[in-house]
């Protein structure tokens, strides 16, 4: 499953997998004193605003590089993939809806979808404008990441992950930072599928509760 680099990186299990994440949040990066990324994305969509896009680039390109490297993107293609994702951000900015997701969540989904494209896979998705799509009032509820700034959410997430038992945070890290499905995680950790599922369920309920418990 892992190449040799992956194994050495994963040695020490969840501590190491989350080490970078923790270190960066604790170092106090993500200074909130700046124009919001959401406003910058809207300016790119509306005015093709290069100054706003430069701010987005300076903020997200290094994060994408670090995030995608954890996801076992080969070092030689890493910079190209970062450029590719940022190019998609520029081109698709007009489809960004700040009522649905924060800028970082939207860029996370762009990066995910580009990786799926590059693997020559397709991603079936819901079309919210399709008349067959069922809507409920719950659709209008604010999403967890609307209720907090990026900085707040990252801190809340850090605390919530830090409070997870190690056997739960390990699985969350493998899912988000190693790109493994729950059945791959089960075989990697040599655990029954049911155990992985129940740990994931517990972890996700806790993280979601933490994210939604904001005022």
Partner 1 sequence: MTVSHHPDRALLLDYATGALSEPFALVVATHMALCPACRHEVSAMEAIGGAMLEASTDCSQAQPEDAFARLMAHVEAVPGEHAASQPAINDPALAAIPRPLRDRLPASPDQMPWRRQGPIETVFLPCDVPGYRVRMLRIAPGRGVPRHTHRGEELTLVLQGAYSDATGHFGRGDLETADPTLDHRPVADPGEQCICLAVTSAPLRLTGRLGRLIDHFLDI
Between 33 and 138, whose beta carbon lies closer to partner 1? 138
Q: What is the DSSP letter of 139?
A: G
Binding mask 21-60 for partner 1 (x = CB under 8 A): x-xxx-x-xx-----------------x-x---x--xx-x
Q: Rounded distance, CA 72 to CA 61, Å?
A: 17
> Rg of the chain's alpha carbons, rounded to an integer?
18
**181 in contact with partner 1 (CB under 8 A):** yes
Q: Rounded distance, CA 154 to CA 214, Å?
A: 13
Out of 61, 189, 191, 214, the only residue in the binding site for partner 1 (CB under 8 A) is 61
Distance of CA 6 to the CA centre of its chain: 20
Out of 176, 188, 189, 214, the only residue in the binding site for partner 1 (CB under 8 A) is 176
CB 40 → partner 1: shortest distance, Å?
14
**206 in contact with partner 1 (CB under 8 A):** no
CB 169 → partner 1: shortest distance, Å?
12
Q: Tell me phi and psi for residue 153, to 5 degrees.
A: -65, -40
Which residues in 74-133 contact partner 1 (CB under 8 A)?
79, 82-83, 86-87, 90-95, 100-102, 104-109, 111-113, 115-116, 121-127, 129-133
Residue 182: CB atoms within 10 A of its CB come to 14
Distance between start and end Cα atoms, the chain: 42
């Amino acid at each position: 499953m892992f190449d040799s680099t992956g194994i050495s990186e994963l040695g020490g299990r969840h501590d190491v997998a989350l080490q970078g994440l923790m270190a960066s949040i604790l170092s106090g990066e993500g200074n909130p004193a700046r124009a919001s990324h959401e406003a910058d994305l809207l300016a790119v969509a509306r005015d093709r605003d290069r100054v706003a896009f430069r701010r987005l680039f300076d903020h997200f390109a290094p994060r994408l590089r670090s995030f995608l490297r954890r996801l076992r993107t080969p070092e030689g293609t890493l910079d190209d993939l970062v450029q590719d994702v940022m190019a998609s951000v520029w081109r698709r900015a007009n489809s960004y809806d700040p009522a649905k997701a924060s800028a970082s969540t939207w860029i996370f989904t762009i990066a995910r979808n580009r990786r799926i494209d590059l693997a020559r896979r397709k991603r079936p998705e819901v079309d919210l404008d399709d008349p067959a799509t069922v809507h409920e009032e719950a659709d209008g509820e604010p999403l967890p990441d609307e209720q907090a700034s990026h900085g707040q959410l990252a801190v809340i997430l850090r605390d919530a992950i830090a409070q997870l038992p190690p056997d739960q945070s390990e699985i969350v890290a493998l899912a988000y930072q190693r790109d493994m499905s729950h059945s791959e995680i089960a075989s990697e950790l040599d655990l029954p599928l049911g155990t992985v599922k129940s740990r994931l369920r517990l972890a996700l309920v806790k993280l979601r509760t933490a994210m939604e418990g904001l005022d």
